[in-house]
Each structure stands twice: as C-alpha cells, then as structure tokens.
Amino acid sequence: MNKRKTVLLSLALAGAAAVHAQTEQAGKSPWGSHDEIGTLNMMNESTTRALFSAVRSGKVYDLGVEYFTGMPGFTELGDPPYQFWMTHTPRGTVVGNISKQGAAINRKVSYTGDAISMYTHTGTHIDALNHFGLHGKIWNGYTADEHLSDRGWDKAGAEKIPPVIGRGILIDIPAYKGIDVVPGNYVLSLKELQQLIQAQQLQINKGDIVLFRTGLMKYFYTDREKFMHNTPGVSIEAIRWLIEEKGVMTLGADNLSLEPLPSTDSANWLPGHTYLLAQKGSMFIELVYLEELAAAKVREFLFIGTPLKLRGASAGPLRPIAVSF
C-alpha cells in the first residue's frame, strides 16, 4: 500500500470512528425528564394482572445463585471479592460474654451472627442505569458532576429499581446446538438468534424479559477458572434487534456480562452495556441461574425479581424466580 492510500485509509477510519462516537450518546427518556428506570416503565397493573392470571402449574424455579467465599466475580478489574466472616459464635459468646447475660444464659441461648462485604455486581444482580454512561452522561442526560456524591448517585440508583415482573422467555443456546456449554469464543449472532427462536418455537413480545442460557453455570460452583475465562455472549446486533425491533423490556444471562469479552469493538470495551444502559435505558440481569428451568424445558414463564434497594448503588443484588405458566 502506498503512502497516499495509507493516508486515505487512516482518514476514512478516523471519520468512521468519529461518526460512531457521535451516534453513541446517552439517550433521553420518552417517559419524561425525571425518569430513572427506563424501559421498566413498560410494567403496569394491567399486564401484571394478566401474567399472574396466566399461571396454571405454579411450579417455581429459583434463578439466583448462592453467595460463597471464592465465588466467581468481577475481581479482574480490582473490585473486591465476596467476603464472609463471623461476628458472633456460640462459644465466643460464652467466653466473651458480649451479651452481658453471663455464662449460664449464654450456654443456654446460643448466638450466631455474621457479616458480608462484596461488590454490588456480585452474584445474581441487575445493573442500574447509572452503571455505564457515554461522554460524561448516563441515561436521560444525568451527569456525575451534578448527581454523584461520596454517597453514590442521587439519580438512577439501585433503590429506584422497582420489583421486576414480566413474561420471561428462555433462549437456551446449548439445547439448540446440542452441547452442554457454549465455547468461550462463541458470539450469538442475530441470524443464529432468529434461527433459534424459530427452531424452539418461541414468541417474543413487547415488554418481555429475555434470558440467555450459555450453560456456563455448570462451572459456577465447581471450577471458578473455567467460569471466569469462558466469556461467550450475545452480539450487539442481536441485542439491538431485541430492543428496537421486538421491544423487549430487559435482558439477562447466566454469564458475567451478557455480551462477549473481550469486545470486538475497538472504540468501546463494553458496547452492549453502554447501548442498553446509557442509550436505551434498559437495565439487564447478570449471573442468572437457568439450569433447572432448562432441564424442565420451560421456555415461557412469569418472571419476578426484587432487587435490594441500595441507595445510590450501580447494581442491586437480585433473588429472581420463574413461575411456569
């Protein structure tokens, strides 16, 4: 390639990057200038009542993972691992008499207490809209300069997330491909997603909650290294189609990030995160336990998730359930 062609190519790439950057802007909410929950505004009493009335079997599936010392988590970026420690033990209460009740009473009334410390994105959780932004702004144009203090965000924090209730759809990738776990370099393309939906006879409606199973939970409790370094995900094209064409309310997956890591976008290390959270106001759920749901071949269900109301936080730990229709 001669010098002139090299210069022209560089200018073209720079121009494309500039256009890309201009289109990646924090979105303004169609639900108003004070909106802090984005697409969760799709929920209403009428749709919730219809979903509950559709339940026939009543079989409940727990979609949350256990929390334990050494569990997989986002420690690669320097965030703290899950920590658990005892604050009171039956024997310690007797010896230390912390309760001031005396040895006889402390032997009779045994007392155990404990505490935890963790990154808010540990275990099954939902990302709040303040988690990722673009060009200094999060969803609806809120900025850190105006809304982030030493005690967290006063906009779009985890305490603002309502109970998440909707029609859930399971996208079971390993079942479609006839394997146990998808490989680490696997990216679910839009074309393959559409083929899978057709093959599994799924109907995705506006306001749905779409959950992706990669099979990675096979390693969550038994092999931390395999879980952490096996990073498949959903392509940005597939995510866009679900949000813009199908009108889903939110997404979730059984892996660390929903989208693949590392990113194939040289201009954005987590394009799926910025697209969903900053541009579209769509919170999403990570580290969802989908094994029992998949084993029972339940593909459509009532989803209920109630996040912890952590004021100002960028995520809310979640204990979701699925109730089969």
Structure tokens, 166: 């909707």
- Dump pLDDT digits (tens) for 240-267: 999 999 999 999 999 999 999 999 899 9
Q: How far apart are CA 248 and CA 303, in angstroms?
A: 13
Instruction: Express each pLDDT in 9-43 by its tens digit.
Output: 343 444 444 445 557 999 999 999 999 999 999 99
Average pLDDT of the residues in 269-288: 98
pLDDT number for residue 264: 84
* Percent of the chain's residues with pLDDT above 90: 90
Q: Give the list of residues 6+ apart from residue 311 with CB closer than 8 angstroms, or none.
A: 151, 152, 157, 158, 159
Cβ atoms of 123 and 82 within 8 Å: the answer is: yes
Task: Please state, in angstroms and as integers, the Cα–Cα distance from residue 68 to each residue in 73, 98, 252, 258, 280, following that order.
Answer: 11, 27, 22, 22, 33
pLDDT for res 22? 56
- CA dihedral sign of residues 199, 201, 203, 209: negative
* Phi/psi at 317 (5° precision): -55, 140
Bond preceding residue 260 cis, omega within 30 of 0? no
* pLDDT tens-digit readout, 54-82: 999 989 999 999 999 999 999 988 999 99
CA nearest to 254, candidates 305, 158, 181: 181
Smallest CA-to-CA distance from 239 within 219, 263, 217 is with 263
Alpha-carbon distance of 243 to 272, in angstroms, equals 11
The pTM (predicted TM-score) of the whole model is: 0.91
Mean of pLDDT values over 198-206: 97
Which position has the token pair 């919170």?
283
Distance CA 107, CA 86 (A): 18
Mean pLDDT of 307-320: 98
The three state secondary structure string of 216-259 is: CHHHHCCCHHHHHCCCCEECHHHHHHHHHHCCCCEEEECCCCCC
Dihedral of CA atoms 238, 172, 254, 187 in degrees, nearest 10, equals -40
Write down the pLDDT at residue 23: 77
Would you say 106 and 93 are in contact if contact means Cβ atoms under 8 Å apart?
yes
In this predicted structure, what is the pLDDT of residue 230? 79
Per DSSP, which regions of 79-215 are E strands?
83-88, 113-117, 125-127, 148-149, 152-153, 164-172, 187-188, 209-213
Separation in Å, CA 157 to CA 121, 130, 287: 13, 6, 20
Question: 55 by DSSP, 3-state: which?
Answer: coil
Sheet holding 300-305, edge to edge: 60-62, 321-324, 300-305, 164-172, 209-213, 250-253, 284-286, 125-127, 315-317
pLDDT of residue 1: 52
Q: What is the pLDDT of residue 19?
A: 45
Q: Each residue of 217-226: pLDDT tens digit?
A: 999 999 999 9
Tell me the per-residue pLDDT of 109-145, one tens digit each, with 9 for 90 and over. Answer: 999 999 999 999 999 999 999 999 999 999 999 999 9
Q: Using CA atoms, how far apart are residues 124 and 307, in angstroms rounded to an integer?
A: 10
